[in-house]
Amino acid sequence: MGKAEQAPARLEGLAARLLPWFETHARALPWRADREPYHVWLSEIMLQQTRVEAVRGYYARFLAALPDIPALAAAEEGQLHKLWEGLGYYSRVRNLHRAAVEIMERHGGVFPSDYAAIRALPGVGDYTAGAVASICFEQPTPAVDGNVLRVMSRLTGDRRCVDEAATRRAWRETLAALYPPGRCGDFTQALMELGATVCLPNGAPDCADCPLAGGCASAGGGWRELPVRAKKRARRRETLTVFLLRCGERWALRRRPERGLLAGLWEWPNVPGALNAQAALDQAAAWGTAPCALERERQMEHIFTHVEWEMRGMYIRCRETPDSFTWVTGEELERDCALPTAFRKFWDAETGEGG
């Protein structure tokens, strides 16, 4: 740890300084209304790489449809994808379902209370297991995410790279020894809250309102250099031609492959590359749709974690509905078909919902 000789002193009384602040400043979030493991687990999965404000509505809708673990375990894939539509990282909801089935089969429908058993559930890593075990079961199991790593790096002047597993593991061990008996869940949430609302990731931290400012190694501007992050790899760029094929009131959809990006989700038919108008009509004809008019084109782009899509959307009116596609009405699409945001953009532009 950078400035190792000062770090223990800076961590002394951490809980005593942090918990009173949390009691006063904690945001009223729906998943903090109780400590039901299903609720906490669901919220933590939804919040991965997703803003709090974006999650609020999804969380409420998901629980309204699937209020408990048995309901989640019994849900069909189409319903799960529709409830998750637009939230992204769809492997999260598939793992939620797999974990719910496992809880029903191996734990009698009761969410396990042991950290190791929670950690063994599909889609649950060290962070989520630590959050659920501490918040719901009062165990001293840190939930070390980007917010917590940023706070601790700045507080102690730690210059280890926070993207390395060894750094995260070291901080879990250090923080585990600082948990106050009987307040484990509050301590976990207080660390999260400080990173989310005060020791911010983008822009200057609000040091004036930080309960740890008095002993912070980064006071006076040192926060600009911390935490130390690994250099990001440049995203690769891919170009697609996306087809919105309409025959009467029905639109052509197809499933993506079961592996890879957006696995198993619905998509508009598409091909690599940027086709011109005639090439797009030729492709639609090759699919057996008997195209009769290219009605409009739209350019869209979408950024994933490691790839950027540049998409040319071709809205083509057709005379045939080959079985190689699934043909749905707009009402059926809205009700039953979960379109990932990358493809949803073209539909929203068509219906006026995209602004």
The residues annotated with a catalytic role in the active site are 44
Q: How far apart are CA 119 and CA 114, in angstroms?
A: 9
Q: How far apart are CA 258 and CA 276, in angstroms?
A: 29
What lies within 8 Å, CB to CB, of 34 at 6+ separation is none
Residue among 32, 8, 18 at smallest CA distance from 131:
32
The amino acid at residue 298 is R
The amino acid at residue 165 is A
Assess contact for 179 and 22: CB atoms under 8 A.
no
Q: How far apart are CA 155 and CA 216, in angstroms?
A: 4
Q: How far apart are CA 261 and CA 253, in angstroms?
A: 17
285, with CB counted inside 10 A (0-12, 13-18, 19+), is middle
227 preceded by cis ω (within 30°)? yes
> What SS3 state is found at 76?
coil
Q: How far apart are CA 243 and CA 286, in angstroms?
A: 13
The amino acid at residue 50 is T
Structure tokens given for 136: 């719901």
